[in-house]
Amino acid sequence: MERKRILVVGLGLIGASLSMALQGFEDYEVVGAVRSRSTYDKAVAKRAADRVTFDHAAELPGADVVILCQDPAGIIGFLRDNRERFKPGCLVCDVCGVKTAVMRAAECLPDSVDFIGCHPMAGKEVSGIDNAEGTLFRNTHFIVTPGPRATPEHLDLLHRMADWCQFGDVIETTPERHDEMIAYTSQMMHVIAVSVCDNEELFSCMGFEGGSFRDCTRVAALDPAMWTQLFTLNAPALSKMVSELEARIHQYRTAIESNDRETLRTMLAHASDRKKQINLERARGDDVHPKF
């Protein structure tokens, strides 16, 4: 009996890690599709998949599950260019950090193809297959944004795949709510980090950085091309969050400039209490299921 097939398109950090984590899952063969000879050679040496190929087009008609792990523009283009190649009845999903734009692009697929948006909440400051590992997703959140045609069978399959990869949980939400939350918890943090690193004092202050500075700027060494796509594809939600942040920073600046210690103390106490509360909830395990 021929094995079922999972095709992972794009073996970067997330794609290769998923491909490695999924090997041995039920009766599926895991095939990794790549474009460059360098990635191909590394994938073979790393045993990142059961089989590695340059020819995704030849694999698509026989793939029961297709996981798109390119950058956002690559995923959107792949859906458009290959919409007639997917196997009828297959599950197509992605790992992109924005969901509304990708789900909209997936509307081009035939009715026989089930697209479910996904976002594994895992990563590193470094990218590429060299940094991939099969344990990357252990105890992390797996966000799922089902489309209108999502079947219970495919949702159950995703839950089983997530369990095999050792995700901590699977959270279902809407693409819009996902993008609002990610704008706040991830994308705005990257805006802050790169803004801090734009300051002309960066190099002159070397040796004076404390842990708070390193924590704040940890994600600033990002991939500019990819994050340009992520920021612009989620512009409505992200611009709203940045605007609200600007207003709060302006309040702090006003209190500092006017030496208004009472207002400053009140603002600091309010924020500090909120942070302590969320720390306490995490310590109790209350954040096991995010409040989407």
Task: Classify residue 125 by its DSSP letter.
Answer: S
CB-hemisphere CA count at 13 Å for 84? 1
pLDDT in tens, 178-217: 999 999 999 999 999 999 999 999 999 999 999 999 999 9
Domain 178-250 is found in CATH 1.10.3660.10: yes
CATH class assigned to 4-172? alpha beta
Joined tokens for residue 251: 């309040």
Among 73, 89, 94, 125, smallest CA distance to 18 is for 94
Beta bridge partners of 6: 30, 65
Share of the chain above pLDDT 70, in %: 97
Cα–Cα distance between 93 and 68 in angstroms, integer? 6
Query: Residue 290: pLDDT above 90?
Result: no
Q: How many CA atoms lie within 13 A of 42 on its CB side?
A: 18
Q: Is the pLDDT of residue 291 over 90?
A: no
Q: What is the mean pLDDT of the chain?
A: 94
Alpha-carbon torsion 195, 196, 198, 200, what sign? Answer: positive
Give, for 215, the enclosing helix (H) or strand (E).
helix 211-217
Q: At 29, which helix (H) or strand (E)?
A: strand 28-33
What is the pTM assigned to this prediction? 0.89
- pLDDT number for residue 192: 97
pLDDT at position 287 is 54
Task: Report the alpha-carbon distance of residue 178 to residue 173 in Å, rounded.
Answer: 7
pLDDT of 292 higher than 70? no
Helix (H, G, I), strand (E, B) or coil at 9: strand
Structure tokens at 80: 């458009």
d(CA 102, CA 98): 7
Looking at residues 21-33, what average pLDDT do you find?
97
Beta-strand runs (E) in 127-256: 141-146, 169-172
Q: Are the beta carbons of 59 and 7 closer than 8 angstroms?
A: yes
Q: How far is CA 38 from CA 59, 121, 128, in A?
A: 20, 27, 11
β-strand 114-120 against 141-146: which pairing, if any?
antiparallel
> From the centroid of its chain, how far is CA 112?
26
Question: 236-267: per-residue pLDDT in tens?
Answer: 999 999 999 999 999 999 999 999 999 999 99
